[in-house]
Amino acid sequence: MGKVNFEHVGKTFHGTRDVAALHDVTFTVEDGEFVALLGPSGCGKSTVLNLLAGFESPSEGAVLIDGAAIANPGPDRGVVFQEAALFPWLNVWKNVTFGPEVQGIPRSTFEPLTRELLRLVGLDSFSDSLPVQLSGGMRQRVGIARVLVMQPRALLMDEPFGALDAQTRLQMQQLLLDVWQSRRTSVLFVTHDIDEAILLADRVLVMSARPGRIARAIPISLPRPRSIDSLTSPEFMSYKAQIMLEINVKGAAH
């Protein structure tokens, strides 16, 4: 299972000046669904992800996974950040298997899964390599495998390809499509890239400017399996124009 619910969620950060980051955010990620979160800069996209990860607590409302309120971080929610943040002294294999070993998962369970995931992300011949010997895209592949080996109910991705060059980013998008097609983990994917959101997601949630709320949910009915060739189709361009208009209108309204 991996159904996520945000129910009338608000988040205010208190300090010398209170900042209302989110207001009445309500949406669902169905089990096995790929949902992308888009919106203008500062609209609260990363705050939504941090609430689901358990790094922050809502000021109002509730965040749930499979009906249970989220109180803290846990291995049932795997997070992939913009930087892979691997342990530099551990090789690829040990980086991926670190979590299962700490959690006391039997080797007979995580070792075959690690081999499968390294194969899926194209790094089965780099098991002994250190992070410093890998490119940025390869390090991010290790980061994805490291999260998936924990078999999370939901995969949370915060602009994971934002620091990569354009060609590597396209390669990583195709890789993620292939891995998701194989694993079908529920995904909440934060991005500011409209093309990326349309290419990857079953639904795109467009947020308003701060305080962020879900302004519109747009189902993406492009056929699967998808590839980067989809980026040039008339249907793709129609979705892009629709979302750009939505972002510009909602951003200007605030």
The two three-digit tokens of residue 207, written as one number: 């947020």
pLDDT tens string 118-129:
999 999 999 999
DSSP letter for each residue of 59-90: SEEEEEETTEEP-S--TTEEEE-SS----TTS
Pairing of strands 34-38, 60-65: unpaired
The pLDDT confidence band at residue 42, using thresholds 50, 70 and 90, is confident
pLDDT exceeds 60 at position 135? yes
Which domains does the chain show, CATH number per domain?
4-76+152-252 (3.40.50.300)
Q: Choose among 175, 155, 1, 171: nearest CA to 81.
A: 155
Cis (ω within 30 of 0) for the bond into 234?
no
Q: Choose among 98, 181, 167, 107: nearest CA to 137.
A: 167
Pairing of strands 60-65, 214-219: unpaired
- Cα angle 70-32-183, degrees, rounded to a multiple of 5: 110
On whether the pTM is more than 0.85, the answer is: yes
**C-alpha pair distances (Å), 9 with each of 6, 186, 194, 205, 211:** 6, 20, 24, 15, 11
Q: State the CB neighbour count (10 A cutoff) for residue 89.
A: 10
3-state secondary structure of 42: coil
Query: Which pLDDT does position 250 carry in this prediction?
Result: 52
The pLDDT confidence band at residue 252, using thresholds 50, 70 and 90, is very low
